[in-house]
């Protein structure tokens, strides 16, 4: 009888633990592909509802058993290589209402020069010019390469042109619609930048909901759905002409501008976030308007560093992601993490998450179970002591 009572108490204790670890959200994992291992990219909705450190993520199979997994965290891990090749100016001239600057690679090279951008230098200021760039292998036959805007206005400048890929021309021609200001691009150089990113550098983009609140001398931009996301950057889309300082919580600040100068437009409306992780339902940027009218905001684009969880699964199998449990829950430690490097060297199928389901429309208020645990432990200790005394009294 006593042993039965002890079993009942222990069962109650186990039930209490399970109740405390109840998950508020679950979603089916759509498992496809013939490879042994699967990778699930986590969505913003998971981050918003899970613990900030993702310690409450669990994968459950069709039999209700936990499935081991390991996490690949998004972040920046890169190796950069850069080469620079000076150009010499061959000629600068006016032809058919356009002004031209012709360049060639200054130093003789043993092989073709690969470049993915070209940078110019100038002693001029306060200009913005729409330009066209062409390339040639023989200084006679020219191919269009890029159209862009070069500017240097009020301390803001852009004097480089992205070549939209790797080019191997020996000659380059820059042309302007006019050059009444007699701007001289007295220096130029080809640049080849190669950045090798690690495969786990996952950057995802979203267009979150937002509201705009106009205040005295400032505009508040409230962005929804960023909770627990490690932010890469936030871009404000606008058609207004302005120059304002934009500030984020934590002291991140930058001057935004969207301006035109002599018919050419130049803009920078992106705020680097340096992996800042919002913890509330709304994340607010402050646009300092001063005495000017608030700017018009047409949209918001957010990029963030994502994570993947990798697990073993068969195509068509039943797997569920559960999350949204006790904030104090400790992340599981599975053996699969010990050989993650070997797994990642093989082929892995990318799988997706289905619709997230809440276990209840309203979650109960968190309760303090300390007294319950203490009572259960005392009861078990008393019962076990009673059992021990009974056994000792038996001849």
Q: Which helix (DSSP H) or strand (DSSP E) does residue 98 occupy? A: strand 98-105
Do 170 and 137 contact (CB within 8 A), yes or no?
yes
Q: Which residue ranges make up each domain of the chain?
A: 1-22+360-395, 26-75+307-358, 79-197, 205-305
How far apart are the C-alpha atoms of 131 and 133, rounded to whole Å? 7
Distance between CA atoms of residues 346 and 356, nearest Å: 30
Cβ(325)–Cβ(51) under 8 Å?
yes
Q: Do 205-305 and 79-197 have the same topology in CATH?
A: yes
The radius of gyration of the chain's CA atoms, rounded to the nearest angstrom, is 31
Q: Can you tell me whether residue 23 is helix, strand or coil? A: coil
The residues, any chain, with a CB within 8 Å of residue 98's CB and separated by 6 or more, are 175, 176, 177, 178
**The whole model's pTM is what?**
0.71
CA distance 270 to 234: 6
| Topology classification of domain 205-305 | Jelly Rolls (2.60.120)
Confidence label for 3 from pLDDT (cuts 50, 70 and 90) = very low
**Angle, vertex CA 283, rays to CA 279 and CA 287, nearest 5:** 150
Q: Higher confidence at residue 316 or residue 386?
A: 316
The separation between the first and the last C-alpha atoms of the chain, rounded to the nearest angstrom, is: 19
**pLDDT tens digits along 293-325:** 999 999 999 999 999 999 999 888 999 999 998
Task: Give per-residue pLDDT as tens, 65-115.
Answer: 999 999 998 655 567 788 999 999 999 999 988 999 999 999 888 889 999
- For 358-367, b where at least 16 C-beta lie within 10 A, e where not — what string? eeeeeeeeee
| pLDDT for residue 20 | 44
Give the least confident one: 76-80, 229-233, 253-257, 292-296: 76-80
Asked if residue 103 lies in contact with residue 87, where contact means CB atoms within 8 angstroms, the answer is: yes
Q: What is the Cα–Cα distance from 30 to 146, expressed in whole angstroms?
A: 43
Fold classification of 79-197 (topology level): Jelly Rolls (2.60.120)
């Amino acid at each position: 009888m006593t042993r039965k009572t002890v079993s009942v108490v222990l069962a109650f204790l186990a039930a209490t633990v399970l109740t405390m670890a109840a998950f508020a959200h679950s979603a089916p994992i759509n498992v496809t592909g013939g490879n042994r291992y699967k990778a699930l990219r986590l969505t913003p909705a998971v981050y918003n509802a899970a613990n900030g450190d993702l310690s409450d993520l669990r994968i459950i199979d069709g039999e209700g058993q936990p499935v081991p997994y390991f996490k690949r965290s998004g972040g920046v891990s890169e190796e950069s290589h850069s080469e620079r090749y000076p150009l010499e100016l061959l000629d600068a001239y006016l032809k058919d209402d356009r002004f031209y600057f012709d360049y060639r690679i200054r130093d003789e090279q043993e092989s073709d020069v690969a470049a993915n951008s070209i940078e110019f230098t100038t002693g001029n200021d306060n200009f913005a010019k729409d330009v066209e760039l062409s390339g040639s292998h023989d200084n006679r036959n020219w191919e269009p390469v890029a159209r862009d805007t070069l500017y240097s206005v009020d301390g803001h400048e852009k004097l480089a042109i992205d070549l939209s890929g790797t080019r191997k021309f020996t000659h380059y021609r820059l042309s302007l619609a006019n050059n009444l200001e007699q701007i001289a691009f007295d220096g130029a150089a080809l640049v080849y930048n190669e950045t090798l990113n690690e495969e786990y550098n996952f950057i995802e983009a979203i267009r979150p909901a937002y509201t705009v609140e106009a205040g005295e001398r400032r505009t508040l931009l409230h962005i929804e759905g960023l909770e627990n996301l490690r932010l890469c950057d936030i871009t404000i889309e606008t058609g207004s002409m302005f120059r304002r300082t934009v500030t984020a919580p934590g002291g991140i600040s930058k001057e935004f501008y969207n301006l035109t100068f002599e018919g050419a437009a130049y803009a920078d409306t992106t705020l680097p976030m340096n992996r800042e992780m919002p913890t509330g339902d709304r994340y607010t940027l402050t646009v300092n308007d001063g005495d000017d009218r608030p700017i018009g905001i047409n949209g918001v684009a957010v990029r963030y560093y994502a994570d993947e969880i990798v697990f073993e699964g068969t195509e068509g199998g039943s797997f569920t992601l559960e999350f949204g449990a006790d904030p104090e829950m400790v992340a599981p430690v599975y053996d699969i993490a010990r050989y993650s490097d070997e797994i990642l060297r093989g082929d892995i199928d990318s799988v997706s998450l289905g619709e997230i389901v809440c276990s209840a429309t309203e979650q109960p208020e968190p309760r303090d179970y300390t007294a319950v645990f203490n009572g259960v432990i005392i009861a078990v200790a008393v019962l076990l002591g009673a059992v021990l005394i009974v056994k000792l009294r038996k001849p």
